[in-house]
Amino acid sequence: MYDIVIAGGGAAGFYAAIQIAELSPELNIAIFERGKTVLSKVKVSGGGRCNVTHGEFLPKELATNYPRGEKELLGPFHKYAPMDVMAFFEERGVPLKIEEDGRVFPKSDSSQSIIDCLVTEAERLGVQVLKNSSVKVIDKLNDGWQVTTMNKHYHTKKLLLTTGSNPKIWAQLQKLGHQIISPVPSLFTFNIKDKRIQGIQGISAYATVEVLPKKTFHTDKKNLNLKSNVKDEPVLYSDGPLLITHWGLSGPAILKLSAWGANILHDYNYSFRIRVNWLPEYSTESMEAYLKELKDVEAKKTVMRTNVTELPKRLWKRLVEAANIMPDERWGDINKEQLLALAEQLTASSFKVEGKSTFKEEFVTAGGVDLKEINFKTFESKLHPNLYFAGEIINVDAITGGFNFQNAWTGAYIAAQAIVS
Ligand SMILES: Cc1cc2nc3c(=O)[nH]c(=O)nc-3n(C[C@H](O)[C@H](O)[C@H](O)COP(=O)(O)OP(=O)(O)OC[C@H]3O[C@@H](n4cnc5c(N)ncnc54)[C@H](O)[C@@H]3O)c2cc1C
Nearest atom, ligand 1, residue 392 CA: 26
Residue 236: its H or E element: strand 236-244
pLDDT above 50: residue 218: no
Nearest atom, ligand 1, residue 15 CA: 25
Mean pLDDT of 226-251: 82
Mean pLDDT of 402-417: 98
Query: In this prediction, what percent of the chain has a pLDDT beyond 90?
Result: 92
The mean pLDDT of the chain is: 94
Give the pLDDT score at 361.
80
Name the residue of 6, 40, 41, 166 whose CB sits within 8 Å of the most ligand 1 atoms, as the mutation to test its pocket: 41
Give the closest residue to 28 by CA, choosing from 118, 158, 216, 197: 158
Q: Other C-beta atoms within 10 Å of 48: how many?
A: 12
Question: pTM higher than 0.85 for the full model?
Answer: yes
Residue at 96: amino acid letter? L
Alpha-helix residue ranges (DSSP H) falling in 183-231: none
Give the pLDDT score at 394.
98
Half-sphere exposure of 355 (CA within 13 A, CB side): 7
Q: Where are the beta strands (DSSP E) in 20-59?
A: 29-32, 53-54
Give the pLDDT score at 327.
92
Helix-helix angle 284-297:336-347, to 10 degrees: 130
Paired with 387 in beta bridges are 159
Cβ proximity of 366 and 179 under 8 Å: no
Residue at 116: amino acid letter? D
Name the residue of 36, 40, 45, 173 whose CB sits within 8 Å of the most ligand 1 atoms, as the mutation to test its pocket: 45
Mean pLDDT of 120-147: 97
Collapsing DSSP to helix, strand or coil, 103 comes out as strand
pLDDT tens digits, residue range 55-105?
999 999 999 999 999 999 999 999 999 999 999 999 999 999 999 999 999
pLDDT above 80: residue 228: no
Give the pLDDT score at 219.
40
Paired with 107 in beta bridges are none
| Lowest model confidence (mean pLDDT) among 110-119, 271-280, 296-305 | 296-305
Give the pLDDT score at 242.
97
Integer Cα distance of 128 and 120 in angstroms? 12
Please indicate whether residue 229 or residue 42 has the higher confidence score (pLDDT): 42
pLDDT tens digits, residue range 319-348?
999 999 999 999 999 999 999 999 999 999
State the sign of the Cα–Cα–Cα–Cα dihedral 132, 137, 138, 140: negative
Integer Cα distance of 387 and 374 in angstroms? 10
Give the pLDDT score at 225.
43
Q: How far is CA 10 from CA 31, 115, 134, 248, 335, in A?
A: 10, 10, 13, 32, 62
Judge if the beta carbon of residue 45 lies within 6 A of ligand 1: yes
Give the pLDDT score at 307.
86
Judge if the beta carbon of residue 17 lies within 6 A of ligand 1: no
pLDDT above 80: residue 231: no
Confidence band for 360, pLDDT divided at 50, 70 and 90: confident
Integer Cα distance of 253 and 247 in angstroms? 16
